[in-house]
Structure 1
Amino acid sequence: MGRIESADVVVVGAGIIGAACAEALSAAGLRVLVLDRGAPAAATTASGEGNVLVSDKGPGPELDLAVASRRRWPDLIDSLREELGDELARVEWEPKGGLMVATEPEAVGPLAALTRAQRAAGIEAVDLDAAAARDMEPHLTERVEAAAHYPEDAQLQPVLAAMALLAAVRARGGEVRGGVEAHGVVYDPGGAVCGVRVDGDAIPCGAVVNACGPWAGHLSVAAGAPVEVLPRRGMVLVTAPLPPVVRRKVYAADYVAAVASGAVDLQVSPVVESTATGTVLIGSSRRRVGFDDALEVEVLQRLARSAIALFPVLSGVPVMRAYGGFRPYTPDHLPVIGEDPRTPGLWHATGHEGAGIGLAPATGRLLADLMCGREPELDAMPFRVDRPAVIVGSAVER
């Protein structure tokens, strides 16, 4: 491989989080190089459903990050369209809202408690009875006990969104290189980052951003500053195109508990939503199996049964394909965003698990604000690298 020109910042990882960080850094005037060992947006981002949600989070730092991102996405898309044109900035943005459904009597109370807490935090959450829920989604099961409508929930096409962000980086003089694996970080005699190691070469830079998603733990170890980021596998079913059946994102009330769970064992909670092409996406599952990417028939069967329980009309509908991917999990369920205090110039932006699409714009903006010395719009402390749940030991001697 030939030597790659030096950059102000090298972002390792060209998924949605790396792309958002690179876009925000390039918008701040920095020359950015993005590296990915595979094709851009081809790993975790390609296996996502494109959710931009405020509904699945209780009050706290992650919800604050989600609200900031939901507010930023439309403006960011508009600015990308002005800069790049309609075709490159096409992301299939759909502000269609979400519906959380309680299908068991014992789920009604916890759902009402969640919506009360969310409204207190500024989220628009509208409590519905069963009749109102079925008015919104006529094909819902008759077993609905109660529901909550979230007008702010949205969806986009994640690969298109990541590619649009990366196109903006290129348009501003940055570079995006696929098929280039980062093997570690180069430090100067004072212990600060001065480059990133690739096959047979080193790329000079002033800072490195570890945005490797589920593989961020591996790069952090190679960089001598380990953080606890683990893979958590999820799977999705895709139906053949259908007439309009599901109007918005619809999921069971226990989905929030599944997201927050740290269990190793399989977690399945029905999530059903349509796409612009007419297909229906069926999730969601979570299981910590390392990087085992074997297709799990048990998971697919449970996903199908749970979706039919929520939307009986889906019974007998052909499944066109199934796919799975790894999500970056942290033990305290919060992303890691900021500079590593053990290694000046090494930054992390990872640990978003299945919420990376929705959290990307605010993550990129927060990291760029911190790196450029600007006052961030959000409190960065909850996402700091040196919190007990994610920091592992000390930096190794170099």
Structure 2
Amino acid sequence: MTVDAVVIGAGIVGAACAAELAAQGMTVEVLDAASSIGGGATAAGMGHIVVMNDSPAELALSSYSRELWLALAPSLRAADAFARCGTLWVAADDEEWRAAQTLHHVLTGACVKADVLDAAALRECEPSLAPSLAGGLLVPDDAIVYAPRAAQWLLEHSSGHRNIRVRLGCAAAAVTPGEVRLANGDRIGGGQIVIANGLTARALVPTLPIEPKKGHLLITDRYRGYLSHQVLELGYIKSAHQAQGASVAFNAQPRPTGQVLLGSSRQFDTLDAAVEWPVLARMVERAARYLPALPSLNAMRAWTGFRAATPDGLPLIGPAGESSPGVWVAAGHEGLGVTTSLATAKLLAAQIAGTDPAIDIAPYRVDRFRMEASSGGR
């Protein structure tokens, strides 16, 4: 059997890529080793749709993709749990308060709506926060979504869904131009092959510069009204994105159920999925600096997941390499897979079709690290 495109991975990125290609009239076969749509990192994450500014390329990709999510939102179901709750970046001290003002300038310069809040306005906006906080920045159009259900919607209800076939429990063992060989020995032909299976993409293209980052999450019982916005510390990037070891940062999300979803942590050099209570305790302790009543809430469940990270924090979107024509990569999104999935699909589809993308694709090229090495880092 041959189709126009085979997408490996039924997480949020793979689902978005399949939906975009199918909407353009291509027949698409989606393969995933898991038994359900939206497993892996998609199921393990927070589902935060947020504009991030760790680099100009991250800002461009995340803001473009957030607009795509906002346009898609009216079509989603209640079960997809999309909510435009906004992101509240909170400043613990004067230094972070100045950082909030800088971030405001950057975001508004990129046409992203944001409002600076002083200490009194912050308390009025989110009364559960500690009264000692210096202020914050509200990005009102950021949102949340239940990513596994959104991935299902993309594959089963989006405009091109009739062109999509999904095969679960179906592991890809090898990829060559025009063909995917499955673990059971079967072969599937495809004019285009899209590798969008996160960390396991390395098994198909071993040269991909992707490494795992383990993260912990915890969810509480239902406490309606306790939290209204996704709340993060303004030191999030500095706290949570250290180059090695374990780190934690404050990140709390109100779920539509009334529960509070708490993150976040980062660990390198491990593939052990077990919950590590010392890391979880550090996470809760840090969160209590911002939400003093949090330790008194009942925790229902904790779990871990693994983010596929690249050295520069940007995803890999584009051709796998000159030696593999028709093989494409959409992986390495780390903690922004949900946010940037729709933009990733648009950029990938534009490259496959040979049309102009909405934003510059150069920062996300798969070969950018090889190019940098060959130029001596210039």
TM range (shorter): over 0.9
CA distance in 2, matches of 1:32, 1:43: 21
Question: What's the counterpart of residue 241 of structure 1?
Answer: 222
Whether contact under 8 Å (2:19, 2:161) holds in the other structure is no
Question: Are residues 389 and 157 of structure 1, via their aligned partners in 2, closer, same or farther at CA, if it must alter by over 3 Å?
Answer: farther
- Identical-pair percentage: 36
| Structure 2 unmatched ranges of 5 or more | none
CA distance in 1, matches of 2:370, 2:314: 9
Q: Relative to structure 2, which stretch is displaced further, 41-50 or 170-179?
A: 170-179
Whether contact under 8 Å (2:239, 2:247) holds in the other structure is yes
Aligned residue for 2:350, secondary structure, equals: helix
Q: Relative to structure 2, which stretch is displaced further, 381-390 or 341-350?
A: 381-390
Q: TM-score, normalised by structure 1?
A: 0.88
Shift of residue 387, structure 1, vs aligned partner:
0.4
Aligned residue for 1:124, secondary structure, equals: coil
Aligned length: 370
Aligned residue for 2:82, secondary structure, equals: coil
Are 1:382 and 2:363 matched, yes or no? Answer: yes
2:196 is matched with which residue: 211, 235, 242?
A: 211
Are 1:123 and 2:103 matched, yes or no? Answer: no
Question: What's the counterpart of residue 232 of structure 2?
Answer: 251
Shift of residue 6, structure 1, vs aligned partner:
2.0
Amino acid at match of 1:151: P
Question: What's the counterpart of residue 7 of structure 1?
Answer: 3
Tell me the alpha carbon deviations over residues 46-87 of structure 1, each in whole angstroms, 9 at most, x when there is no partner: 001110001x32451121111111111132344x55xxxx57
Amino acid at match of 1:106: E
2:43 is matched with which residue: 33, 42, 46?
A: 46
Question: What's the counterpart of residue 285 of structure 2?
Answer: 305
Whether contact under 8 Å (2:25, 2:163) holds in the other structure is no
Amino acid at match of 1:48: G
| 1:169-248 alignment, distance < 5 Å | 171-186=161-176, 193-198=177-182, 199-221=184-206, 226-248=207-229
| Structure 1 unmatched ranges of 5 or more | 187-192, 394-398
Question: What's the counterpart of residue 332 of structure 1?
Answer: 312
Question: What's the counterpart of residue 37 of structure 1?
Answer: 33
CA distance in 2, matches of 1:256, 1:104: 16
Aligned residue for 2:208, secondary structure, equals: coil
Shift of residue 347, structure 1, vs aligned partner:
0.2
Aligned residue for 1:177, secondary structure, equals: strand
Question: What's the counterpart of residue 61 of structure 1?
Answer: 57
**Cα RMSD after superposing both structures:** 1.9
CA distance in 1, matches of 2:60, 2:242: 21
Shift of residue 158, structure 1, vs aligned partner:
0.7
Shift of residue 162, structure 1, vs aligned partner:
0.6
Shift of residue 320, structure 1, vs aligned partner:
0.2
CA distance in 2, matches of 1:295, 1:157: 22
Whether contact under 8 Å (1:59, 1:117) holds in the other structure is no
Whether contact under 8 Å (2:320, 2:327) holds in the other structure is yes
Aligned residue for 1:388, secondary structure, equals: helix
1:366 is matched with which residue: 325, 337, 347?
A: 347
Whether contact under 8 Å (2:26, 2:163) holds in the other structure is no
Question: What's the counterpart of residue 124 of structure 2?
Answer: 135
Whether contact under 8 Å (1:58, 1:118) holds in the other structure is no
Tell me the alpha carbon deviations over residues 302-328 of structure 1, each in whole angstroms, 9 at most, x when there is no partner: 111122221112231110000110111
Tell me the alpha carbon deviations over residues 205-262 of structure 1, each in whole angstroms, 9 at most, x when there is no partner: 11211101122222212xxxx2101111111110011121010011111113245x35
CA distance in 1, matches of 2:262, 2:128: 15
